[in-house]
Copies of this chain bind each other. A is one copy, B any other.
Amino acid sequence: MQITASDFDPVFAALADHTRRDIVRRAISAEEGILELASHYPMSFAAVQKHVAVLERAGLITKHRIGRRRVVRTNLEALLIARRLLDQYEALWLAQIGRMDELIAERAGAVGTVETKESKR
C-alpha cells in the first residue's frame, strides 16, 4: 500500500492535541476501556470518546473487545509513518548542508581570483 501525502494530515492533526497525545501514551503500556481512559481527564466521557475516534480514524490506535469493554491499543506503525516524514526532512536538511559545504569549497578554490560575476535572479 502506498502512502499519499494527505495521509499525514489526520495523523499530525490527531497528535496536535495534548489529551490525544496522552491517550496515545497511555495506550502503549495499558489496556484501558474508554470509560477508564476518561477518568484521567477533566472532561466528559463523550469528549474522550471523540478523541479516541479521532485517533482511530488517524490509524494511531485500534479498539479491541475484551469482555464488555473495548480496550484501546496504540498502533506503532502510524507513529513511525509520522516519524519517517520528519526523518526525510532531516535528510533533506543534511543534504542541503552538504551542498553548502560544496559551495564553500568552490569559493575557497576561487580565492584570489577577481569576483566572478553572479547573475542572481
Interface residue count on the A side (C-beta < 8 Å): 33
| A interface, over-half SS | helix
Please give the count of copies of this chain that the complex contains: 2
- Please tell me if the beta carbons of A92 and B13 are within 8 angstroms of each other in the complex: no
Contact with B along A40-71 (1 / 0, CB 8 A): 00000000000000000000000000000000
Known: A9-B18, A74-B89, A80-B90. 15 other contacts (CB 8 A): A5-B18, A8-B21, A12-B12, A21-B85, A24-B89, A25-B89, A28-B89, A28-B92, A29-B92, A29-B99, A76-B89, A76-B93, A82-B86, A83-B86, A86-B86
Binding site for B on A (CB under 8 A): 5-6, 8-13, 15-18, 21, 24-25, 28-29, 74, 76, 79-80, 82-83, 85-87, 89-90, 92-93, 95-96, 99
